[in-house]
Amino acid sequence: MAKKLCDPASGKPFASGEPRLLDRVIASLDADKARDKAWDDLAAKRDAEIERGDSTPVNGPEAVARLRLDLA
């Protein structure tokens, strides 16, 4: 027997036409176009800096290690 996705507020199963939780989460990720454009612009700027040699990329674990040293 398949389980139905329920509305967390009421505990009742969603009607077939109601938005599902995952659909609402995905929609919320695209809700702020200005924020998304700002992040895209920043990523493009950083990529260009790396390609020109103005900046050196640092992998995640190394970045975290550096931060820990700075905050210690």
Tell me the whole-structure pTM to 2 decimals: 0.51
Asked whether residue 33 is domain-assigned, the answer is yes
Six-digit token string for 26: 């995905």
Please report, as a single letter, which amino acid is at residue 61: P
In-domain check, residue 7 = no
Domain assignment present for 14: no
User: 58: which residues sit within 8 A by CB, 6+ positions away?
Assistant: 66
The total number of structural domains in the chain stands at 1
Distance separating alpha carbons of residues 32 and 42, to the nearest angstrom: 16
| 12 in any annotated domain | no
**Band of residue 58 on the pLDDT scale cut at 50, 70, 90:** very high
| pLDDT for the residue numbered 10 | 77
Q: Which amino acid is at 71?
A: L
Compute the 3-state secondary structure of the chain and give helix, strand, coil in percent, each to the nearest 5.
55, 5, 40
Structural domain containing residue 42? 21-71
41 found inside a domain: yes
Mean per-residue pLDDT of the chain? 85
